[in-house]
Amino acid sequence: MRFANLELPDPSPSTSFVVLHIEEIGGNCYVEYDAWQGTERVHLDFKRVIGARMDSYHSECGAAPARIGEVIDSRWLARCVESQRRAYPRDPDTLAGIRHFFVKGHDVTVEVLAESVTLRQAPR
């Protein structure tokens, strides 16, 4: 499995506070967490989300260190693309541009299939 770092500040997530908020209408979600060291709260906005999950043990990013990144050869995204092509053969490129992002903490990982992610500071 290959991973890529994102061009975002990379404070390690803590598991004392992690929020995964998903909105079906509009296809957006956010992940918010406390940085492991320091007092900052990190807020990541994801656009055009097609899937999100939180897991402690069965993540595709199991070998990655605690950080924010992207799974390059995502099995999850490949399964979604294949399912989309079977269900909608006349529109096979609906998921073009979707990427597999992850926020890996020390005890939990949040994964999001989305088109983009942006960082903003969140009030604490």
The string of pLDDT tens digits covering residues 52-101 is 888 876 677 766 666 778 888 999 999 999 998 888 888 878 889 999 99
Dihedral sign for Cα 66, 14, 62, 75, please: negative
The one-letter amino acid at 77: L
pTM: 0.80
Other Cβ atoms within 10 Å of 68 Cβ, number: 24
* Angstrom distance (rounded) from CA 37 to CA 59: 23
The string of pLDDT tens digits covering residues 1-59 is 566 666 555 555 555 567 788 776 667 888 877 766 666 777 888 999 988 888 876 67
At residue 94, the pLDDT reads 83
Using the structure block, give the residue that is written with the tokens 């541009």: 97
* Angstrom distance (rounded) from CA 48 to CA 106: 27
* Angstrom distance (rounded) from CA 109 to CA 123: 22
